[in-house]
Amino acid sequence: MPLVPAKILLDDAVKNKYAVGAFNVNNMEQIQAIMAAAKETMSPVIIQASRGALEYSNLIYLKKLMEAAVIDNPEVPLAVHLDHGNSLETVKQAIDLGFTSVMIDGSLKEDSKTPTTFEENVEITKKVVEYAHPFGVTVEGELGTLGGIEDGVGSGEVNLTDPDQAVEFVKETGVDSLAVAIGTSHGAYKFKEEPKLALDIVKEINKKMPELPLVMHGSSSVPKELVDLVNKWGGKMPDACGVPVAQIQSVIPFGVAKVNVDTDGRMVITGTIRKILTEKPEEFDPRKYLGPARDALYEMIAERMKDFYTAGHASEIKDVTLEEAKAFYK
Ligand SMILES: [Zn+2]
């Protein structure tokens, strides 16, 4: 299957009440682990890259790795997504690279720090939609602001999404999916104590727009065993805390169709490498620690695919090219 627009995956997820995991990548081992997990659990999947990841990989390396993912796993429905696009220029760059989905985070200005007004958010998001749809590319917008800061993105303020404003935003911009602020947060130090997601807000938005795929950012679970794995082998991540899987599961039936996971993957890789290098200080072949890190990441992602009820849904996804997808946006 060629790369599909994310809209194909997200619409199926809303209809069948599961969520597609969107996993951040910046190197080969991460991409291999995600694809292996999707293949094994028969899950559709979204691989996403932040602006930082594009810069880190000098664009072309990531593009070629994503092409390799498709060739190596033709049975996996895969969308490639730009995470937290900050301008039309970045979006253009991602579409040029062959991404089938882009996010424009108009909740923040181009510096990715200063919150925008509702009108400013509508203006930039609409521009991106008008640019992307003729290419068949799916657009994710964001309304409301999450807490936390990751990859230099975030204002540090929290403003939960207003359901009535969400309706107006979707109508005015024409976005295909909406990232909502419902109490999640970016990074590994999201909360002082276990969070409670704003289930009422999710339910209300879903009631007003039952077909709209909602997106949860900052949704790593940061489970205790991962924190322990990192800390036991010399890491320093005291008090790391995330969104429990059970809380994510509670909102999935209400239109939450994409769940972003980045921190958990970073922690699995870091913890595994720390353990190996501590236990075998004589080891200096990168394959001997990157390989096991890839295996551990695969295990974690396969688990999330089952947790988000994604497993088994790959077979129902239609093979849709960007060319064919242009018709969906009219
Ligand atoms: Zn995010």
Q: Is residue 1 part of a domain?
A: no
- Expressed in angstroms and rounded, the spacing between residue 105 Cα and the centre of ligand 1 is 9
Whole-number Å distance, alpha carbon 56 to ligand 1 midpoint, is 18
Is residue 232 situated within a structural domain?
A: no
Q: How far is CA 161 from CA 65, 183, 250, in A?
A: 35, 10, 18
Q: Model-level pTM? A: 0.96
- 10-residue mean pLDDT series, the chain (330 residues): 92 98 97 98 97 93 94 96 96 96 94 92 98 98 83 76 97 98 88 83 97 95 94 92 94 97 97 98 98 98 98 93 88
Q: Where are the alpha helices (DSSP H) in the chain?
A: 6-16, 28-41, 51-56, 60-72, 88-97, 118-132, 163-173, 199-208, 224-232, 245-251, 263-279, 286-307, 322-325
The CA 133 to ligand 1 mean position distance, Å, reads: 22
> Domain of 32: which CATH number?
3.20.20.70
Query: In angstroms, what is the span from residue 186 Cα to ligand 1's centroid?
Result: 6
Q: Is residue 255 part of a domain?
A: yes
Phi, psi of 108 (to 5 degrees): -125, 155
* 279 found inside a domain: no
For residue 253, what pLDDT is reported? 97
Residue 67 lies in a domain: yes
Name the residue range of residue 50's domain. 6-225+242-270+293-329
Residue 15 lies inside a defined structural domain of this protein: yes
Query: Per the domain annotation, does 285 fall within a domain?
Result: no
- Residue 197, in any domain of the structure: yes
For 25-90, the DSSP string reads --SHHHHHHHHHHHHHHT--EEEEEEHHHHHHTTTHHHHHHHHHHHHH-TTS-EEEEEEEE-SHHH
- 11 catalytic? Reply is no
pLDDT at 212 (0 to 100): 98
12, 83, 105, 262: the active-site residue: 83
Q: How many domains does the chain have?
A: 1
Tell how far the Cα of 302 is from the centroid of ligand 1, in angstroms: 21
